[in-house]
A = this chain, B = another copy of it.
Amino acid sequence: MVRWEPDSRGRLVQAAMILYGEQGFDRTTVAEISERAGLTERTFFRHFTDKREVLFFGAQALQELLVNTVVNAPASTTPIEAVTRALEGAGALFGERREYSVQRQRIINGSAELQERELIKLASLAAALADALRQRGVTEPTAALTGEVAIAIFKTSFERWVTSSQPSDLGQLVRDSLDQLRVIAAAT
């Protein structure tokens, strides 16, 4: 008999975030997370492959959102516009959970293993965006470079967003970064 567990995934995430924040990622076990959430380890492993995935389970959905936005942008949209619009769309999603994002970033900054995972995620995003641009008929080297530049914009905007003392809008920071990129690139 399977017990009904309302939002067990959400409870596991919440418990993990508290424990990672209190005692560090490295020193927290799946057993502790499950216990704190009032669930079994078996339930934990129905939702996540390991304790690291608690912090990265949204990555696939983010990538799909970005890729779909790029692929479905109007034909007249330029490559950099297409990726920037995708990032703005993602910014709106993140905007609803700034507190979670700030805490997540703090946990990631405290663990070399998590930083590696974050870098791999960003590298896959760059490759996926470049592929999405190729689907729009964008050729090399524009597709690959625009994918990497999009991640440069996202990484710096996101960092400003989670470290700013004032409330700010991630989508706006992405647009500001694109303006900045234009100034940087033209200054030669």
Contact = CB atoms under 8 A, between A and B. Distances in A.
A40 interface: no
A142 interface: yes
Q: How large is the interface on A (under 10, 10 to 19, 20 to 34, 35 or more residues)?
A: 35 or more
Interface stretch (A53-61, A67-75, A97-105, A145-153): A145-153
A116 B122 CA distance: 11
A145 B177 contact: yes
A13 interface: no
Q: How many copies does the complex hold?
A: 2
Interface in A108-159: 115-116, 119-120, 123, 140-142, 144-146, 148-149, 151-153, 155-156, 159
Interface in A71-105: 78-81
Contact of A145 (B78, B79, B181): B181
Interface string A150-188: 011101100110000000000000001110111111111
Contacts of A119: 116, 119-120, 123
Nearest to A149: B152
